[in-house]
Structure 1
């Protein structure tokens, strides 16, 4: 049981390290905070919350995997290597695809509510 609990400590250590050292992770965390605040302010439905939470989780997970892949690539290939560069590019591309999908889902959820808000304010 001690080993199991220690595993959570390692996991949180990895998350904190990414949050402290990786600009893109910080940007995604900020976007997550904006999305949560927007969801709260616009009273999104429980189903919409599920989509927002899923998107946040997927983007942050993709960013953590990208960071891990970049660290591992730098460890095994400290000098420039074209294939190592492509590995890093593809993992960054995975984050980009995930973030674009999350953005589209966010727009589908938030834009109609914002348009109603603007229409009522006018």
Structure 2
């Protein structure tokens, strides 16, 4: 006795084939995986920035359009590859046009994302600057943290020494001179400025005396810490 195939069975099979097609595209197409990754990232950012309902609809539509275009592009390229194994100008034309469609909808998605998130980022950035201005100590601590990150990046480039031990530039000198600028910026007392500068010099001198850093590395750290701290304080205050 044969099983009667109902409309529901046909529909479930169609959905199953469609899902298989999406999975195959994700597994075999690098661009599809990139689009999926960006879509997940946008979803996370939407939650973080509290995107409104109307903006969320626009983002959802833009993402869906990009994924749809990429799936169609993959289908067209696969069909062309089946039709001919040799180079043909019409095959190239078909592939280029389908890729162009993906590019257009991707640019559209980027524009929509920029319009929505730039407004949110500006609002949040303004709030961060407002909070930093309200607390000078927090601002200086954040700047010193940025200096440390900068030292780590530069040392990673030179591939010499550890974060606060050896290598270009001297991390201790960068932090010491960064704190000197931070303290000097907050006070008009010349005595305090001179004293903190003397402490920074002692830190730098100790790194050379103990042969942990060369004079060049200490000078580099001192200049880096002074410059970054001064520029960021000027931007904030």
Question: Structure 2 length as normaliser, TM-score?
Answer: 0.51
Q: Deviations over 1:38-70 (max 9, x none)?
A: 111100110011001101100000000000000
- Counterpart residue number, 1:51: 58
Consecutive unaligned residues of structure 1, counting only runs of 5 or more, are none
Q: CA deviation at 1:120?
A: 1.0
**Structure possessing the higher relative contact order (Cα contacts under 8 Å, 6 or more residues apart):** 1
Q: CA deviation at 1:78?
A: 1.5
Q: Distance in 2 between matches of 1:121 and 1:74?
A: 53
- Counterpart residue number, 2:15: 8
Greater CA radius of gyration, 1 or 2? 2
1:72 is aligned, of 76, 79, 82, to 79
Matched, 1:91 2:84: no
Q: CA deviation at 1:119?
A: 1.3
Q: Distance in 1 between matches of 2:122 and 2:52?
A: 17
Q: Distance in 1 between matches of 2:36 and 2:124?
A: 26
Consecutive unaligned residues of structure 2, counting only runs of 5 or more, are 1-7, 130-237
Question: Structure 1 length as normaliser, TM-score?
Answer: 0.98
Which structure has more helix as a fraction of its residues?
1
Q: Distance in 1 between matches of 2:111 and 2:69?
A: 17
